Amino acid sequence: MSISNAGSSGSHSPIEDLLRLQTDFQQRLAEETLRYLRQLQSLTGPVTPGTFLLPDTNAGIQAQTSPGATATFSVDLENRQRVHCLVSPMLSLLASDTGVTWFPAATFDPSSALLASGNTVTVKCQIAVPQHIPAGIYRGGLVLYGFQGGMLPIRIEISESPDNRADGVASLEGETQ
Q: Mean pLDDT, to the nearest integer, of 70-78?
A: 86
Q: Which residues contact 86 (CB under 8 A, 6 or more apart)?
A: 45, 46, 48, 112, 113, 114, 115, 145
Q: Mean pLDDT, to the nearest integer, of 140-159?
A: 77
Weakest-pLDDT range from 43-52, 88-97, 110-119: 43-52
Residue bearing the bigger pLDDT, 138 or 80: 138
Buried b (16+ CB within 10 A) or exposed e, 133-165: beebebbbbbbbbbbeeebbbbbbbbeeeeeee
Which superfamily, per CATH, for 61-172? Immunoglobulins (2.60.40.10)
Alpha helices in the chain (DSSP H): 14-44
pTM (whole model) above 0.75: no
Residue bearing the bigger pLDDT, 148 or 162: 148
Instruction: Give the C-alpha distances (Å, rounded to integers) separating 71 from 32, 112, 130, 166.
Output: 23, 20, 11, 9
In terms of DSSP bridges, do strands 169-172 and 61-65 run parallel, antiparallel, or are they unpaired?
A: antiparallel
> Does the pLDDT value for residue 123 go beyond 60?
yes
Residue bearing the bigger pLDDT, 65 or 56: 65
Query: What pLDDT sits at residue 167?
Result: 45
> Does the pLDDT value for residue 32 go beyond 80?
yes
